[in-house]
């Protein structure tokens, strides 16, 4: 058995998509509930049918941001700040 860590919005999406597949609600209603377009709902439905709940979990989870600086830059910056501005707190820096 595989355990997936899902956020609350991902769980909500799964329930809405399950309702669409059971024909309890329409795609248009699902789009309004999830605040997505019909096209995005069809894309999610296709992935959900193919891969199950795993398709709704973000693939970026646990990975560093594309915009983050390397750890060496952060370390160097903190060293410069401590050397030159010892009286500044983290808020002012």
Which uninterrupted H or E stretch holds 15? helix 8-21
Cα–Cα separations (whole angstroms), residue 17 to 24, 37, 87: 10, 14, 55
Convert the pLDDT of each residue in 33-49 to its tens digit.
Answer: 999 999 999 999 999 99
59 vs 84: CA distance, rounded Å = 41
Q: Residue 93: pLDDT band by 50, 70, 90 thresholds?
A: low
- Are the C-beta atoms of residues 71 and 64 closer than 8 Å to each other? no
Q: What is the pLDDT of residue 78?
A: 83
Convert the pLDDT of each residue in 68-84 to its tens digit.
Answer: 889 899 889 888 888 88
């Amino acid at each position: 058995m595989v355990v997936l860590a899902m956020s609350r919005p991902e769980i909500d999406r799964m329930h809405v998509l399950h309702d669409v597949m059971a024909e309890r609600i329409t795609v248009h209603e699902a789009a309004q509930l999830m605040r997505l377009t019909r096209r995005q709902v069809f894309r999610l439905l296709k992935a959900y049918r193919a891969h199950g709940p795993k398709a709704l979990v973000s693939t970026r989870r646990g990975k560093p941001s594309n915009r983050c600086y390397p750890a060496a830059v952060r370390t160097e910056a903190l060293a410069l700040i401590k050397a030159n501005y010892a009286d500044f707190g983290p808020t002012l820096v």
